[in-house]
Amino acid sequence: MMKIDRDLLSIQEVRNLIQQAKDAQKILATLTQKEIDKIVKAMAEEGMRASQWLAKVAVEETEIGVYEHKVVKNLFATKRVYEGIKDLKTVGIIHADEKNRVYDVAEPIGVIAALTPTTNPTSTALFKALIAIKSRNAVVFSPHPRAVDCTSQTAEIMHKAAVHAGAPEGIIGCIHYPTLEATNILMKHPDTGVILATGGSGMVKAAYSSGKPAFGVGPGNVPSYIERSADVNKAVKAIIDSKTFDNGTICSSEQALICEKLNGQEVRLVLKDRGGAFLPEEDIHKLERHAFRCDGSLNPDIVGKPATYIAERAGIKVSPDTKALVVELGGVGMNFPLSREKLSPILAYYEVENWQEACELSKKLLTLGGMGHSLSIHSEDHEVITRFALEKPASRIVVNTPSCLGAIGGTTGLVPSLTLGCGTLGGNSTSDNVGPMNLLNIKRLAYEIISPEDLQRQLFSSQVETDKDEEVVKKIVMEVLKKISV
């Protein structure tokens, strides 16, 4: 029997999935808002029921993160996201400006290529399936090669729930043989409408260079500043809880703690009480060599792993109850590798004189690898908070809350999302917390509210600087109005 090459299998599979998705989306696009909302509700409820199982298979397959925390992420991606989108209008006229007689009409994009990461494979798939169907789009998932089983199970669960509630077969698909060739075909296929990419910077860059519209996310290198007016106990608890949530795999988790020399001693004491282990200089160098490879890339062996595991692999002795490895650094940049994003419970630590120094240091950290992403501040001084928000190259500034949950809209009023845009600062097409409205084409229906003659009178109601200018402008306007009347 002839053995079929895996690459060929994957290429044929993705072509079949796109064709099925295209056919199904044409049917989905004809459904009413009530019918769409019924399907989305059924999907969210089924996703909630499956949250524990999907967390289990995700941890077993990827060996990344914490089971209990992945349950929370799956529930966030279903229950919290559903609550945030259930009342959105995504069919027909979704907004009416009666005064100006302009009406916004929602139009689905078509087939969405959804790239998912190994760090949050099931929660990201649950989230993307919901926002795709809410906006009447089909979705085809390209999972990370080390998260194929858990991602495909997630897609299957959501597909069955959608179909049972009235969606057409094939509306949600997933590649079971993920290869680079298959992902490239998915992104570049003529019937792919948009790419929704969540993952490493290389994958996101590939999405943007595919020739298709894309929503990608940049890396996060989130600074967290504890200002002198902050409640230190509350702030440190929030940072440690956030940094260790799912072992630091959410891109909006804190990467560096900045405090002032004025409150530094208190911050250090609370950090130690909360499970933070300050490493001596020689151990910092050991951790640097283990955390980053020779080419400067992050060692995947530390991603989503407990602090004690990382310490042991790096040859560092810490207490068994250590929750985070704290490294006090003297600068930012390539000479200080641990000042970068680490996707693990490793926390850089800095002390500064005042909020102005904290401001400049935060900018350096964001410039190093988190431009346009997120920043957190703990403070009771509204003026300092406002200055921080105005001056930082971050799309989300969360205040007095764990950054990993605040930035995704869990503990704040931001749009609940597991795809966080970084705007042009981070090389992204949006700075939004991506949701269903990003996956719609909005058409405008506009009625005449002023006649061409009245428009001309308005344009010439104010005196121009010279008669010559007036004659030139008048001539141009008359020519335009003649063309309009023809």
Domain coordinates in residue numbering, the chain: 6-216+435-442, 222-412, 452-485
Distance from C-alpha of 44 to C-alpha of 162, rounded to nearest angstrom: 10
In this prediction, residue 381 has a pLDDT band, given cuts at 50, 70 and 90, of: very high
At 291-325, the pLDDT tens digits run: 999 888 999 999 999 999 999 999 999 999 999 99
At 395-409, the pLDDT tens digits run: 999 999 999 999 999
For 416, phi then psi, to 5°, come to -65, 120
Give the model's pLDDT for residue 7: 77
Answer yes or no: are the C-beta atoms of 261 and 352 closer than 8 Å.
yes
Residue 200's contacts (CB-CB under 8 Å, 6 or more residues apart) are: 117, 219
At residue 324, the 3 state secondary structure works out as strand
Question: Could you give the C-alpha distances from 477 to 134, 454, 465, 480, in angstroms and in order?
Answer: 45, 12, 17, 5
Distance from C-alpha of 369 to C-alpha of 222, rounded to nearest angstrom: 9
Has residue 66 got a pLDDT over 60?
yes
Question: Could you give the C-alpha distances from 440 to 29, 108, 285, in angstroms and in order?
Answer: 12, 5, 49
Residue 33's contacts (CB-CB under 8 Å, 6 or more residues apart) are: 89, 90, 91, 92
Give mean pLDDT, residues 434-451. Answer: 96
Pick the more confident residue, 95 or 294: 95
Smallest CA-to-CA distance from 409 within 63, 31, 77 is with: 77
Give the model's pLDDT for residue 468: 56
Pick the more confident residue, 486 or 143: 143
Give mean pLDDT, residues 448-475. Answer: 73
Has residue 472 got a pLDDT over 70?
no
pTM score of the predicted model:
0.92
Q: Which CATH superfamily is domain 6-216+435-442 in?
A: Aldehyde Dehydrogenase; Chain A, domain 1 (3.40.605.10)
In this prediction, residue 4 has a pLDDT band, given cuts at 50, 70 and 90, of: low
Give mean pLDDT, residues 429-457. Answer: 93
Distance from C-alpha of 228 to C-alpha of 263, rounded to nearest angstrom: 6
Q: Which amino acid is at 165?
A: A
Mean pLDDT is lowest, of 96-110, 197-211, 297-311, 354-368, for 197-211
At 408-433, the pLDDT tens digits run: 999 999 999 999 998 888 888 899 99
Return the percentage of the chain with pLDDT > 70, whole number: 94
Distance from C-alpha of 340 to C-alpha of 369, rounded to nearest angstrom: 6
Give the model's pLDDT for residue 483: 62
In this prediction, residue 144 has a pLDDT band, given cuts at 50, 70 and 90, of: very high
Distance from C-alpha of 454 to C-alpha of 473, rounded to nearest angstrom: 16
Catalytic residues, which ones?
251
Q: Do domains 6-216+435-442 and 222-412 have the same CATH topology?
A: no
Task: Determine the straight-line distance between the first and last CA of the chain, rounded to whole angstroms.
Answer: 71
Has residue 13 got a pLDDT over 90?
yes
222-412 CATH choice from 3.90.226.10, 3.30.9.10, 1.10.10.410, 3.40.309.10: 3.40.309.10
Has residue 463 got a pLDDT over 70?
no
Give the model's pLDDT for residue 387: 86
Quote the radius of gyration of the chain (alpha carbons, Å): 26
Residue 173, strand partner residues: 140
Pick the more confident residue, 246 or 482: 246
> Tokens 């109005």 map to which residue?
481
Pick the more confident residue, 84 or 423: 84
In this prediction, residue 8 has a pLDDT band, given cuts at 50, 70 and 90, of: confident
Has residue 457 got a pLDDT over 90?
no
At 254-279, the pLDDT tens digits run: 999 999 999 999 999 999 999 999 99
At 47-58, the pLDDT tens digits run: 999 999 999 999
Pick the more confident residue, 334 or 123: 123
- What integer best gives the mean pLDDT of the chain? 92
Distance from C-alpha of 419 to C-alpha of 134, rounded to nearest angstrom: 16
Q: Which amino acid is at 356?
A: Q
Give the model's pLDDT for residue 484: 56
DSSP 344: S
